[in-house]
Amino acid sequence: MLLYESLAAQLREQIAAGVLRAGERLPSIRRLALAHGVSAATAVQACLQLEREGLALARPRSGYFVRAQPPAPLSPVPRRRVPRTVSNPALHEVIDMLSRRDLLPLHAAVPAPELLPGTALAAALARALRRNRTQALDYAPAQGHPPLRRLIAQRYAQLATAVSPDEVVITAGAMEAITLALRSIAAPGDVVLVETPTYHGILQAVAALRLKVVELPHRPGGGLDLARLDAVLQDAPVRAAVLVPNFHNPLGSVASDADKQALLARCARHGTVVIEDDVYGELAWSGQRPAPLRHFDCHGLVITCGSFSKTLAPGLRTGWLLGGEWTDALVRAKYHSTVGSPALPQLALADYLQRHDQERHLRRLRRALADNARRLRAGIERHWPQATRCSDPSGGLSLWLQLPPGGDGTALFEAALAEGIGISPGQLFSSRGDYRDHLRLSCGLPWDEHLERALRRLGQLAAAQVA
Residues 87-106 that bind a copy of itself (CB under 8 A): 91-92, 95-96, 98-99, 101
When binding is defined by CB under 8 A, the residue of 107, 317, 377, 383 that contacts a copy of itself is 317
Which residues 178-197 are close enough to bind a copy of itself by CB under 8 A? 179, 183, 187-188
Q: Tell me how far apart the alpha carbons of residues 109 and 132 are, in angstroms, rounded to a whole number.
A: 33
143 phi and psi angles, rounded to 5 deg:
-75, -20
Asked if 163 interacts with a copy of itself (CB under 8 A), we say yes
Phi-psi region for residue 338, left (φ > 0), alpha (ψ -120 to 50) or beta?
alpha
Q: Tell me how far apart the alpha carbons of residues 408 and 383 are, in angstroms, rounded to a whole number.
A: 17
When binding is defined by CB under 8 A, the residue of 56, 125, 148, 445 that contacts a copy of itself is 125
Stretch of 269-277, 322-330, 364-372, 442-450 lying at the interface with a copy of itself (CB under 8 A): 322-330
Asked if 313 interacts with a copy of itself (CB under 8 A), we say yes
When binding is defined by CB under 8 A, the residue of 306, 340, 426, 444 that contacts a copy of itself is 340
C-beta of 124 vs 233, nearer to a copy of itself: 124
Q: Tell me how far apart the alpha carbons of residues 177 and 304 are, in angstroms, rounded to a whole number.
A: 9
Asked if 61 interacts with a copy of itself (CB under 8 A), we say no
Stretch of 67-75, 128-136, 245-253, 274-282 lying at the interface with a copy of itself (CB under 8 A): 128-136
Site size for a copy of itself, by CB under 8 A? 106
When binding is defined by CB under 8 A, the residue of 4, 8, 12, 27 that contacts a copy of itself is 27
Q: Which of 41, 42, 23, 30 is nearest to 10 (CA)?
A: 42
Per-residue DSSP letters for 426-446?
A: GGGG-SSS--TTEEEEE--SP
Which residues 396-425 are close enough to bind a copy of itself by CB under 8 A? none
When binding is defined by CB under 8 A, the residue of 167, 282, 408, 437 that contacts a copy of itself is 167
Stretch of 153-161, 277-285, 381-389, 447-455 lying at the interface with a copy of itself (CB under 8 A): 153-161
Pairing state of beta strands 168-171 and 104-105? unpaired
Q: How many other C-beta atoms can be found within 10 angstroms of the C-beta atom of residue 164?
A: 14
Q: Tell me how far apart the alpha carbons of residues 344 and 316 are, in angstroms, rounded to a whole number.
A: 9
CA dihedral angle for residue 44, residue 50, residue 53, residue 59, rounded to 10 degrees = -80
267-306 footprint of a copy of itself as x/- string (CB under 8 A): ---------------------x-----------x------
What angle in degrees, to the nearest 10, is found between the helix axes of 409-418 and 89-97? 40
When binding is defined by CB under 8 A, the residue of 22, 44, 57, 159 that contacts a copy of itself is 159
Nearest approach, Cβ of 92 to a copy of itself (angstroms)?
7
Residue type, 434: D
Which residues 33-52 are close enough to bind a copy of itself by CB under 8 A? 34-37
Is 311 within 8 Å of 298 (Cβ atoms)? no
